[in-house]
A and B are shown apart, each in its own frame.
Chain A
Amino acid sequence: MRANLRNVTGAIRAKRANVVGEMPHWEQLRDLGAALKDDTLADLPDRLLQLERSVQARGGQVHWARDAREARDLVALIAEQHAVTELIKVKSITSDEIELNLALEERGIHAVETDLAELIVQLSKDSPSHILVPAIHRNRAEIQELFNTELPGEGQLSDDPAALAGAARRYLRQKFLTTKMAVSGVNFAVAETGTVCVVESEGNGRMCVTLPEVLVSIMGIEKVLEKVEDLSVFMELLPRSSTAERMNPYNSFWTGVTPGDGPQEFHLILLDNGRTNVLADEFGRQTLRCIRCSACLNVCPVYERAGGHAYGSVYPGPIGAILTPQLLGMYDKNANTLPGASSLCGACYDVCPVKINIPQVLIYLRSEANVQKGLTAEALAMKGMKFVMAEGWRFEGALKLARVGQGPLVRGDAITSLPGLLGGWTQSRDLQPLPKEGFREWWKRRGQEPAAASGEADTSSESKERV
């Protein structure tokens, strides 16, 4: 998995640098993108009401969902009104956020993912690990095996990506031509006109928003823009940051219902699900500028090594580390550890097309998490550590004590298992025991015994263990 990740993130980083380099005014474009998003967010109540009016004026219906459950219920209700038992979907991370597929399945409605990577993830009963390339953790051999067992009538496919994509085309074409209802996410929505936009590559998005009779699009409330012209800023920023292309193959824009063209019933669901909390926080609010490009994942040294699943959240990578805890609230036990998963190297901020200062928000959220936690064992241990390390004599004494204390734990040359809470540290790694003599002790003794043989090696291992 790491090799897949390194290949892919490395390749896309180089491509992105190329296409961004073609735009001499890229930095001003980022400034404008950030300002437009902030501007719209500051006026969000008016923008959403304007969007609602515009969509309704063009024959669309608008629904408001406070949380994931309400959004899921709305989709299921619309499906049930049309007696639909199977619907088609465009890749939508918002629908993953509200766990739509599972909820529909429980009500007897099967949601078919039509994005190739999402299909791979769905057929292998897996979960996405990248915003843009959800199956980034799967290589071609794995996909070949999956399609050979899961796609009916395909026989033995080669592992050529073109052959695998061809199999997906044949499998999904009948679904596109005959399915009555589709669900999509939303990249942008224009308040002024009620226009909704979906950006994609394969054409499955065009199929889903064009061919069915009923279309339901789910959008986070932060996706709204004010004017039609604002779209061009983001159509310049998003593809270069996301797929590292000058423009992605297909962008679809539609407004309510177009008589004689496309779905004749359109529903737009406006989703809160924690977003108003983020909005209420003056510092964290910038997170809502995010246009889900995934540039921050591709440059992140932590993401490259850990992969998307390690975050345990729908939104992986640096943006996930700040978005998820804010959406769920800092009291969420997994989410509030996410801001810790960063070395604060700042690469994510550099590439963010809407200039979200991810490192600063991370630091801010870490302090929030500490306030939430109150006095924990970790905080106590750190306090104790501070006391011991503040004075040299206390530290030396503690080391001597530790050397005696570690006795029963040392197996061979290593400590392979720590007791109690500390056990987590040794689950996947060994710890070097403290050496028999520390640097300071060796330094004191140095005059009497010149050329102490093992001195240097000891000091380096000792300094590691102090951390």
Chain B
Amino acid sequence: MTTGTLPTPSSTPVSTAQARLEMLTLINRAVAGAERPPLPPYPVSAPQSQAEVLHQFEDRILDYKAALTRVPASGAAQAVAAALGAVRRVVVPSGLPAAWLEGGSAEVVRDGPALTHAELDSIEAVLTGCAVAVSETGTLILDHGPDQGRRALSLIPDLHVCVVREDQLVQTVPQALARVAASVREGRPLTWISGGSATSDIELVRVEGVHGPRRLHVVLVGD
């Protein structure tokens, strides 16, 4: 490629157009003749049975000191209510399945119209679904679809209750990424959550709960 044919996008400020041209010229020169190595195949974990995957997921979530309740489909609302405990107000995304909320005692606040940051900060808990979950790493992946809401929702309240359906559970990270790749290509953000917020910055002692939700409760719902 010659630098003379480079398009100059209109949004690039004039000051960086020169920098862009120069950097691309230098990079082109630097990698001239560099060969692209053959890519080895992605190594695959030995597949586990569904029961093993469920067990592994539970083990990992508890290892992160998060809570997990496993229920049949009919028990979702009851498990959510128990997870919310004495919470007075819970915020939910506008597309949350109504069946998850039946019979709870907490006041339900819907994020529509969008609440302000200060309003979110005054609400103790949030209830969301997820897009996919990974057993090997105990990770919940949100692609912020209608049952998960915008990112601030699952970030500001102190307790996050997340409902995971068993059919959303996969064993490995590459399997999970394959499931959400389409969302990323649509421009949707992803949030990966593995346990509650934590720090190990002071003498490498793990402290659960710094800025994000200090408590995470996973409700794993059967098919």
Chain A residues engaging chain B, CB cutoff 8 angstroms: 4, 7-8, 11-12, 23-25, 28-29, 31-32, 35-36, 38-39, 41-46, 48-49, 52-53, 56, 58, 61-66, 70, 73-74, 114-117, 120, 133-135, 139-140, 143, 161-162, 164-165, 168-169, 172-173, 176-178, 190, 192-193, 195, 201-204, 206-207, 210-211, 221, 228-229, 231-233, 235-236, 239, 243, 245-256, 258, 260-262, 270, 272, 276-277, 279-280, 282, 285
Contact = CB atoms under 8 A, between A and B. Distances in A.
Contacts of B12: 61-64
A424 B134 CA distance: 56
Contacts, number: 271
B42 A32 contact: yes
Contacts of B173: 232, 235-236, 247
A250 B191 CA distance: 7
A448 B1 CA distance: 83
A254 B189 CA distance: 4
Given A206-B151, A232-B177, A117 B184 contact: no
Contacts of A45: 1, 24, 27-28, 31
A42 B199 contact: no
Contacts of B205: 161
A122 to B, nearest CB: 13
Interface in B36-51: 36-46
Contacts of A36: 39
A61 B20 CA distance: 13
Interface in B1-59: 1, 6, 9, 11-13, 15-16, 19-20, 22-24, 26-31, 34-46
Interface string B147-179: 000111001100000000000000001101110
A11 B156 CA distance: 32
Interface in B125-149: 134, 136-139, 144
Contact of B193 (A64, A249, A272): A249
Contacts of A63: 12-13, 16
Given A203-B197, A249-B195, A254-B189, A41 B202 contact: no
Counting contact residues on chain B (CB < 8 A from A), the size range is: 35 or more
Nearest to A32: B40
B197 A44 contact: no
Contacts of A210: 151-152, 155
Interface stretch (B79-87, B99-107, B113-121): B113-121
Given A246-B194, A252-B151, 5 more contacts: A32-B42, A204-B210, A236-B173, A252-B191, A285-B34
B109 interface: no
Nearest to A168: B210
Contacts of A282: 34
Given A42-B36, A206-B151, A253-B190, A8 B177 contact: no
B204 interface: yes
Nearest to B45: A25
Contact of A246 (B11, B137, B155): B137
**10 closest pairs, A vs B, by CB?**
A203-B212, A25-B43, A203-B211, A280-B30, A203-B197, A28-B43, A247-B137, A251-B192, A261-B150, A64-B20
Nearest to B66: A249
